[in-house]
Amino acid sequence: MRLPREDRYAELEPLLAKVEHPARYLDHEWGAVEQQDGPFHVCMIYADAYEVGQPNLGIAILYNELNAAEGISCERCYLPWVDMSALMREAGVPLLSLETSSPVASFDVVGFTLAHEMIATNIVETLDLAGIPIRAEDRDEDDTIVFAGGPSAWNCEPLCAMFDAVLLGDGEGEIVEAAQAVRDARAAGATRAEILQALSKVQGVYVPSRYDVVVDETSTRWGYAVPKPGVDVPEIVYKRCIPDLAATDPIPQKMVPYMGIVQDRLAIEVLRGCARGCRFCQAGMTYRPVRERPLEQVVTAAEEGLRTTGYDEVSLSSLSTTDHSQCEQILLRLDDYLRGKGVRVSIPSQRLDSFGVDMAAAVSGSRRGGLTFAPEAGTQRLRDVINKNVTEDDLERAARNAFKLGWRRMKLYFMMGLPTETDEDVLAITAAARRVLEIGREVVGRGYKSGVSVSVSVSVFVPKCFTPFQWCGQLPIDEVRRRQDIMIRANRDRDIHISYHDAQVSVVEAALSKMGRAGFDLVYGAWKRGCRFDAWTDQFKYDEWLEAGRAMGIDLEELAAEPYDLEARLPWEHTSPGVSKGFLKREWRRAAEGVTTGDCTMTSCAGCGVCPTLGVDNNIAGDRHGR
């Protein structure tokens, strides 16, 4: 029997005056679910600070799904910041849920979102602070069942030692079935092993303990996973995929926080999936097929969500919002509804063409701050290698149109270290920025009063599983720094501002992306050396990660740069988003030839294999071909 909430929260309350941002630990936000009476209890965890995790749509979707299921209640938890974690350990206070301040270890199921690779040590920290055994194999019969899922679940092998089950693909429906499987097995008196076997029968659920790792001449050094002898589980676990986005809640994030958060606005997912086929993009491969939310549902959801939350901004969220076949009509309807209300509509991604600029103009009203485009590569040759399918003319037309429509600041995203990249491609990044700036000066005028400027952000390419570049090695860190240097030296204009990502973070990210199940020793070793909140620049400890690698006999920088043989069995092939290995190989070969592949929602089927394998299809609300 749980203590009354007041008694549990009383342990935490005296600590609030001693920490930064105590609002991180306040509960009962506007829109949170009030009734948490179960009797089956689930806690969904985003293992980062509240202001990062609170706006996460994935957590919000699962929170609502579970709380709508009969007999199940769901609460949330975020990882306390380092100051609060230290105080909680000192005071003997375990990690508590947000809604009822219940010990996280007391829940029937605990679920983690794998938002990105750099959240790894935070998950170890969360389990330790909760008092839950970190390794699944060390948990007793009555310990909570630990789930994971999310956008970085596709190579979960370096983390799967911590998880009883990993949910692949769309969580709607899957999370409820998985929780019900645990509930029903518990009620029937099943052992922990029997519960895990029951979970393996839920479509889309991968149970790591049911598989062995084999290392042989056909594999990389990390091996590959196969079902244990005599265990009835699928050789390949395919993701769960909902066929119709319109059947889901268009406004899952109904909670309004007490403090500023990273995405402090109403978010509506208008589109799931992307078929543009950028060869570096894991999300574009793993979220297929494309499923659009219809115009009327988007507009109605925006109106209702703004009324109930009081936000002054609504974001139309997706991987590529301006690809929505009804995007223009949606924006016109919202503009008509919101005119004079002081509410802004934002689009997180614009297409690099005049249509994308027109859409940005439609949502910005009289305000013309900055506009962002992602050419990704400086030369047409390299853009063809990565299948970006935009040209120099597209960039120049978009820039000219934007400056004519009143924008004065442009931001361009590029990547460094893409396969086949040369110094010419690197210098072309600065040249592209210079050309955009010149267009702005031609349209607006010269001189500091014009306000024309261009910002360039350059990230380091990280090879990801289930992409055509999954066999690549990352550019060695010394070479990254050399290319960053020549790029910076090539810029001689004070109105062009170039920033680049930390190559050291990218090394760790690439290493985790390539490793197999034995990679957990790296994560655990880094955590034991004080690593946590690795996605925060001021908390990242590169030397400790390197030392954790050395303790395993591994040089992380060499590992990140290591290519894989095209015929090798890879550590993640026993799970699948439905994209065939044959398609990825074909795209890798087309990349080497500089041959592009079209978007199957605009042209013909590209043969990726998702639709026939998963029994789904692109679900387009309007006419994309009419563009």
How far is residue 99's CA from residue 81's CA, in Å, rounded to a whole number?
18
Alpha helices for 552-615 (secondary structure H):
556-560, 581-593, 610-614
Are 491 and 430 within 8 A, CB to CB?
yes
Q: Mean pLDDT over residues 253-268, rounded? A: 93
Entry pTM: 0.95
Higher pLDDT, 347 or 144: 144
Can you state the percent helix, strand and coil of the chain, rounding each to 5?
40, 15, 45
pLDDT tens figures, 145-160: 999 999 999 999 999 9
Check residue 13 and give its pLDDT: 87
Residue 1: its pLDDT value, please? 43
Low-confidence winner among 346-350, 467-471, 555-559 (lowest mean pLDDT): 346-350
The C-alpha atoms of residue 360 and residue 383 are separated, in whole angstroms, by: 23
SS3 580: coil
3-state secondary structure 67-108: HHCCCEEEEEEECCCHHHHHHHHHHCCCCECCCCCCEHHHCC
Q: What is the mean pLDDT of residues 574-588?
A: 98
Pick from 513, 516, 520, 517: which is nearest to 549 by CA?
520
d(CA 39, CA 71): 6
Tokens of 539: 């908390």
User: For position 358, what pLDDT does the model report?
Assistant: 73
- How far apart are alpha carbons 75 and 209 in whole angstroms? 27
Higher-pLDDT residue of 354, 239: 239
Distance CA 323, CA 563 (A): 34
**Residue 332 token pair:** 């016109």
Q: What is the pLDDT of residue 38?
A: 82
User: What percent of the chain stands above pLDDT 90?
Assistant: 85
Tally of CA atoms within 13 A in the half-sphere of 398 that contains its CB: 25
Residue 313 has phi, psi (to 5 degrees) of -150, 140
Q: Is the pLDDT of residue 10 over 50?
A: yes
What contacts 24+ positions apart, CB below 8 Å, involve 540-544? 540/502, 540/504, 540/505, 542/504, 542/505, 542/507, 542/508
- CA 303 vs CA 89, 334, 355: distances in Å: 45, 8, 25
Is residue 589 within 8 Å of 279, Cβ to Cβ?
Answer: no
DSSP code at position 142? T
Contact 620, 294 (CB under 8 A): no
Closest by CA position to 462, among listed 543, 560, 374, 540: 560
Per-residue confidence band for 627, with pLDDT thresholds at 50, 70 and 90: very low
Q: In the numeric block, which tokens belong to residue 289?
A: 């097929």
Q: For 247, what's the count of Cα atoms within 13 Å in the CB-facing half-sphere?
A: 9
User: What per-residue confidence (pLDDT) applies to 36?
Assistant: 74
> Pairing relation of β-strands 211-214 and 224-227?
antiparallel
Quick one: CA torsion of 150, 154, 158, 159, rounded to 10 degrees?
20
Tokens in use for 193?
């092993």
3-state SS class at 301: helix
Return d(Cα 606, Cα 612) in angstroms, integer.
12
Tokens matching residue 198: 């029951």
Amino acid at 347: I
**Which pLDDT band holds residue 354 (cuts at 50, 70, 90)?**
low
Do the beta carbons of residue 221 and residue 215 sit within 8 Å? yes
Average pLDDT over residues 389-413: 91
Q: Which of 392, 400, 453 is CA-nearest to residue 428? A: 392
Question: Which one, of 164, 88, 155, lies nearest residue 133 by Cα?
Answer: 164
pLDDT digit string, tens, across residues 27-69: 889 888 877 788 999 999 999 999 999 999 999 999 999 999 9
Q: Give the torsion sign (CA, 161, 164, 168, 172).
A: negative
Confidence grade of residue 349 (pLDDT, cut at 50, 70, 90) = low
Task: Give the pLDDT confidence score for residue 7 in this predicted structure.
Answer: 65
Asked if residue 535 lies in contact with residue 119, where contact means CB atoms within 8 angstroms, the answer is yes
Asked which of 349-363, 372-386, 559-573 is least confident by mean pLDDT, the reply is: 349-363
Torsion of CA 88, 91, 96, 100, to 10 degrees: -130
264, 257 Cβ separation under 8 angstroms: yes
Half-sphere exposure of 585 (CA within 13 A, CB side): 9
Confidence of residue 4 (pLDDT cuts 50, 70, 90): low
Distance, in Å, from the CA atom of 94 to the CA atom of 165, rounded to the nearest integer, reads 23
Residue with tokens 């439905």: 578
Cβ contact 62:285 at 8 Å: no
Q: In the numeric block, which tokens belong to residue 301?
A: 């959801």
Closest CA to 198 of 179, 225, 211: 179
C-alpha dist (Å) from residue 308 to 31, 172, 302, 487: 8, 23, 10, 48
Which helix (H) or strand (E) element contains residue 180? helix 174-187
**Three-state helix/strand/coil letters over 429-485:** HHHHHHHHHHHHHHHHCCCHHHCCEEEEEEEECCCCCCCCCCCCCCCCHHHHHHHHH
Whether residue 625 has pLDDT greater than 70: no
Average the pLDDT over 334-351 and give the result: 85
